[in-house]
Structure formats: structure tokens, C-alpha cells
Amino acid sequence: MSVKLAVLGHGVVGSGVVELFYKNKAKIEKRAGKELDIKYILDLRDFPDSPYKDKFTKDFNDILNDDEVVSVAECMGGIEPAFTFVKSCLEKGKSVSTSNKELVAAKGDILLRTAKENNCNFFFEASVGGAIPIIRPLHKCLAANDIDKVMGILNGTTNFILTKMKDDNMNFEDALKLAQELGYAEKDPTADVEGHDACRKICIISSLVFGKHVYPKSVYTKGISDLKLCDIESAEILGYSVKVIASVRKLENGKILPAVMPMLVPLENIISGVDDVFNAVMVYGDGIDKAMFYGRGAGKLPTASAVLGDVINTVQHDNTVVSQTWESVENNDFVAPIEEFKSKWYFRVPLDCKKVKTESYTSDDGISFITPKELTFAEAAEKIGELNALAYIPVLD
């Protein structure tokens, strides 16, 4: 008899999980070492034309109370009811694989503990980097390293928008609309545009690498809503591309500094060439020096691929806990404030500014230049006032 699976949510990712599962069923079963089938798909909407219409249920209890279901893919998004559903499944010993970064960033510690207590697994490879394997490499393949920095591009939608603006002269609104049509953006795309999605992902990576739960509210987060096309163009002339960089690094004082913000990336840095919906994550460790992970960061089948990889893993490890845990914490006092961040900065100042003494580029929009020295956020703020700066963006070293 086949092992029974359930999929919670039939949106972009959930429908991708069902589609990819049936497309590659024979291969998936071979790799899992067992016959598998999806018994339920949970969604409140009706899908009368779906070839899988007999599998739909609107009642979560059908799944929870069915002892045949041993592995559940959660693709609903949001914290509730996803948290309640996932926790109840784990309490019943059903392993869960999720693509829901909001859930993992908010409640990952609790769900990992619940899985361990109930002899099952909670996996979330699809929650960071879409198709890219990054969670399992950090947890398993790179486990022998002292990892002191992880950084990269973790939001496909903003990377897609920035690429379309730069290469195709598309305006922000049209590029966002296209990203939504292609199924890259969140239900509420402000989570992408304002950096919250990338923030959740760097929280998950930080918690995993440094062993304590990092909450989104502790992380400095800035999106792309006030970025101007003229700054993207000036940056390119100065030898940089503009990317939303999510990063976390260990400081000398033992604290960690996670952050999400647009940054100028030197064109010779491989990250500057990561375009469209692609994500890239660079991991720095004492054994590996550095390793880069690259691939499609969003979209139906790329994300479904990561969810199903986890589902296969749950089936292979039935009744064995192989998922990691990290500490629950009272507060995030081990997270350093953004004031400890230092970098060179890009400034655009008014055309009549006489104080620019360094190499610069002048256009109708102002004079653009990179500060010769690194500045903290406080020092940059002082300079912004002094120069009446029209734009200011930190530069990746």
C-alpha cells in the first residue's frame, strides 16, 4: 500500500507540488524507496476542472485525523492558520515540509521542537532561495565549518524588478505586475518590495547558522520602493549594480549583524551578475573559504522542487528525527544594532554642490560618487545632511 501525503494550499506553490509530484511520480517513488500518493489537497476554493478534484477537502481535520497520512506539505503561507495546522500535524507524528518563510521566521524554534518531541521532522528547504538547496547544505554538508558570514540575493521579485528596470527600461509598476503574473511575488507584494520577505529568509539562515532564533523585528530592513532609476544607471556607470542584499555576519564582540538593504555591488563581484528571478547565496566558512549557491529563487515548479525534496526526505526518515533545532530565546540581545554596520556609500547630491572632491559622474539628476572611506550609518546620516544628498546607498565591499 502506498504512503499517503497531503498538501495544504493549492496556490502557486501547492499546485506546483501536485503537478511536479504526478509528473515525476515514478522517479520520486524510486528515490523515496516507497510507493507514494497524495490523498488530500486542502483549499477553501473549488477546483472543479482539476484532474485531482476528488482529492480536495476544505476540512483540515480530514487530514489530521487520517492515520494513513504520514507526510504533509504546507504551502498556504502566512502564520495562521498555518502554524496551528503544522503544529497539530507534528503533534500527531506527521512530518511537515513547508515553503512558508513567514511561519519559519516567526515560529521555527517551536515547530522544530514539536517535531523532535513527536519523533517526526519539520523541513523548510523551500522557505529560502526557492529551488536552491541552501538549508540542508548549511545544516549538513557545511556542518564542520565555523561559518562567520552568509550573504546574497534572497528575493526573486525585487531582483527581477531591478533587472527589468536596468535592462529593459521598464518602470517599477510594470515590472512588479509582471513578477506577480509569473507567480514570483507574495500575495501582498509589499513584503517583497519593502524587504520583509528577504528579512524572513535571513532570519531563518541566521537562526540555523548561529543556533538561536532570530526574529524579523531585530533585523534592519530596507526595500526598493524609494530607489530611483537614475541611481541604478549612475551606479552602473561608476562600476556597480544595485541589488537587494540580505546578509548576516559574526562581529568581533560575538554578536551577529543581520540586515537587508539595497546595496551597490561592484561589477567584478559575481553577485552583481545574478539577474532576473535568480537568487544567490554566498557562505563563508573557515574550512570552505567560500561557496556560492545559485538558482531560481521563486516560481511554481522551482519552489515545488524544494518542497518535494523535503517530502521525499520525510518518507526516507519516517520515525527518525533528522531535522535540526535551534534555541528559543527570550530576546535578541545577541543581534547587533545596524549602528555597528560600516561601509563605503554611494551619494547623489545636487548639481550645485561644490564639496565633491572624489571621482564622480554628473547627469541632469545630480552628481553621483562613492565615499572614499567607510562610514557608519550615523556618519552617513551626518554627510547626507551636510551635502543635502538626494540619494544614499551603502556599497558592498
Cell numbers for 164: 527589468
Beta bridge partners, 395, equal 264
CA gap 303, 14 in Å, rounded: 9
CA gap 276, 35 in Å, rounded: 37
Q: Where is 266: in which H helix or E strand? A: strand 256-266
Cα 254 to Cα 152, 204, 250, 354: the distances in Å are: 22, 19, 6, 42
Assess 109 for contact with ligand HSE (CB under 6 A).
Answer: no
Assess 14 for contact with ligand HSE (CB under 6 A).
Answer: no
**Residue 52: HSE in the Cβ half-sphere, 13 Å Cα cutoff:** 21
From residue 297 to residue 326, the character string flagging contacts with ligand HSE as x (rule: CB under 6 A) and all else as - is xx----------------------------
Restricting to residues 131-170, which ones interact with ligand HSE according to CB under 6 A?
155-157
CA gap 170, 388 in Å, rounded: 29
Query: Is the bond into 350 cis (omega within 30 degrees of 0)?
Result: no
Pick from 14, 77, 108, 130 the residue near ligand HSE by CB under 6 A.
130
Assess 184 for contact with ligand HSE (CB under 6 A).
Answer: yes
Cα angle vertex 156, ends 298, 263, to 5°? Answer: 160
CA gap 20, 17 in Å, rounded: 5
In the complex, minimum distance from the CB of residue 276 to ligand HSE, in angstroms, rounded to a whole number: 11
Give backbone dihedrals phi and psi of 106, rounded to 5 degrees, phi first.
Answer: -90, -35
Assess 197 for contact with ligand HSE (CB under 6 A).
Answer: yes
Assess 97 for contact with ligand HSE (CB under 6 A).
Answer: no
In the complex, minimum distance from the CB of residue 201 to ligand HSE, in angstroms, rounded to a whole number: 7
216 or 297: CB nearest ligand HSE: 297
User: Are 142 and 288 in contact, with CB atoms under 8 Å apart?
Assistant: yes
Assess 194 for contact with ligand HSE (CB under 6 A).
Answer: no
Assess 77 for contact with ligand HSE (CB under 6 A).
Answer: no
> Quick one: which segment of 83-91, 181-189, 231-239, 388-396 binds ligand HSE (CB under 6 A)?
181-189
Assess 125 for contact with ligand HSE (CB under 6 A).
Answer: no
CA gap 155, 357 in Å, rounded: 36
User: Are 258 and 206 in contact, with CB atoms under 8 Å apart?
Assistant: yes
From residue 262 to residue 301, the character string flagging contacts with ligand HSE as x (rule: CB under 6 A) and all else as - is -----------------------------------xx---
CA gap 267, 239 in Å, rounded: 6
- Over its C-alpha atoms, the chain yields an Rg (Å, rounded) of 22
Assess 186 for contact with ligand HSE (CB under 6 A).
Answer: yes
> Quick one: which segment of 1-9, 179-187, 254-262, 317-325 binds ligand HSE (CB under 6 A)?
179-187
The catalytically annotated residue of 4, 87, 201, 243 is 201
Assess 192 for contact with ligand HSE (CB under 6 A).
Answer: yes
159 or 313: CB nearest ligand HSE: 159
Can 355 be counted among the known catalytic residues? no
Residue facing ligand HSE at closest CB distance: 157
Chain positions contacting ligand HSE, by CB under 6 A: 130, 155-157, 184-186, 192, 197, 297-298
Active site residues: 201
